[in-house]
Amino acid sequence: MSDTETDELAQMSDEEKAVMDEWESMAGDDADSGGGDAMPDFGDGMDDEGGPRILNQEEIDSLLGFDDDDVSGGETSGVMALINSAMVNYERLPMLDVVFDRLVRLMSTSLRNLTTDNIEVSLDQVSTVRFGDYMNSIPLPAMLSVFKAEEWDNNGLLVTDSALIYSIVDVLLGGRKGTPSIRVEGRPYTTIETKLVEKMVTVTLADLSSAFDPLSPVSFNLDRMETNPRFATITQSGNACVLARLRVDMGDRGGRVEVLIPYATLEPIRELLLQMFMGEKFGRDSIWESHLTQELYKTDIQLQAVLGEKILPLGDMLNWKVGSRIMFNTRTEDDLELRCGHFPMFTGPVGQKQGSIAVRIERYIPPENEED
């Protein structure tokens, strides 16, 4: 200890010294027990022999964020946390879940009619991905169908994996039930296989059009079919897309269909997709509007028939007495003006009916534009 520290300890009271001794003892106990909140000892980067210390596989996985023990889907750490922090969270479109649920029901019926087989279609997941990341993750071989939304003037992508392709071919060509389809890897798809899959894709796109009908009528038409992802590029790699993963089961056979729609394609109906339920009106209540309209029709208003108008000085008006006469320029054959408050409404000739003065409405006066 230095002379300064010795002088400071001498000036401390007995109570303060007791507290300091207690803290030092608690810190020593935590260090000996290796307590839960204590930082792990990574050492000085040197091994026991004085050479550079080499990390084992568990430490490398923990550093990079690839921890196999963490299967709960919680937050990542390390390098993966930095990578995921660059991802953009896009807005939620609640009505897309309703659209894809309708697509599942429609596809189940359409594919049963196409294949005359018991087919079950289920929706696995609806998520948001970047187009470039998804194209790099497609397991090949696969068949990529580029379709166009005519009313929205943009494109989408429908991906059919090899398992479903061979299953559809096997079912449509009369394969036996209960036996898995035979896959022949390492060769391109034949013309017959492409045409059979194209028939299934056409049926799926027709169902997708029907699923969007309650929101906005749209026609999805098949543009082309590709087997190389580079030739199926429909948007830039960094653009966000909605991805729906569908599972098609045909007994012991089946596969996956994935529908990829860029956000730019859905932009024309973005306001409709933001609805929480079908037919939601933002800030409007149709029941209240109809009730207010009915009540307005029952409202009593007063109409004034203007027999004549004349501008006089205030001094002349103050000299009026009982019996004074005011001369107007209105003649009996002139039309009178009917007003509601200060707004002129109708004009018509004046007459007499059952001892009362009457006005017959002949012309409606449209309201004047305030901007004029």
pLDDT of residue 327: 82
CA triplet 184, 190, 193: central angle to 5 degrees? Answer: 85
66-75, 262-271, 292-301, 307-316: segment of lowest average pLDDT: 66-75
Of 121, 156, 257, nearest in space to 201 by CA: 257
- When comparing pLDDT for 272 and 91, which is higher? 272
Q: How many angstroms separate the CA atoms of 366 and 348, rounded?
A: 15
pLDDT over 70 (residue 63): no
The domain segmentation of the chain, as residue ranges, is 52-70+78-88, 94-273, 304-364
pLDDT in tens, 328-341: 777 777 888 888 88
Residues sharing a CB contact under 8 Å with residue 128, sequence separation 6 or more, in sequence order:
90, 240, 241, 242, 243
pLDDT of residue 316: 84
pLDDT of residue 169: 84
- Helix count and strand count (H, E) for the chain: 12, 11
Residues in the chain: 372
Residues sharing a CB contact under 8 Å with residue 272, sequence separation 6 or more, in sequence order:
95, 215, 216
pLDDT over 70 (residue 33): no
- When comparing pLDDT for 70 and 194, which is higher? 194
Q: How many angstroms separate the CA atoms of 369 and 270, rounded?
A: 35
Range 304-364: architecture per CATH: Roll (2.30)
pLDDT of residue 343: 85
CATH number of 94-273: 3.40.1550.10
- Stated as kind and residue range, the H or E segment containing 209 is helix 191-212
pLDDT of residue 32: 54
pLDDT of residue 39: 46
pLDDT over 80 (residue 111): yes
- Neighbouring-strand partners of residue 343: 340
Does the fold of domain 304-364 match that of domain 94-273?
A: no
Confidence grade of residue 275 (pLDDT, cut at 50, 70, 90): confident
Residue with tokens 């590709």: 226
- When comparing pLDDT for 123 and 286, which is higher? 123
pLDDT of residue 137: 85
pTM assigned to the model: 0.53
Q: How many angstroms separate the CA atoms of 331 and 353, rounded?
A: 18
pLDDT over 50 (residue 72): no
- Six-digit token string for 75: 């937050």
Contact 96, 261 (CB under 8 A): no
Q: What's the mean pLDDT in 294-303?
A: 87
What is the DSSP pairing of strand 343-353 with strand 335-340?
antiparallel
pLDDT of residue 241: 87
pLDDT over 60 (residue 271): yes
Q: What's the mean pLDDT in 91-97?
A: 77
**Can you state the angle between helices 191-212 and 94-115, rounded to 10 degrees?**
140
pLDDT of residue 178: 57
Residue with tokens 């309201």: 367
- When comparing pLDDT for 82 and 274, which is higher? 274
Share in percent of the chain as helix, strand, coil (round to 5) = 35, 20, 40
- Stated as kind and residue range, the H or E segment containing 164 is helix 162-172
Contact 93, 274 (CB under 8 A): yes
The torsion of the CA quartet 17, 21, 23, 26, rounded to 10 degrees, works out to: -170
pLDDT over 70 (residue 278): no
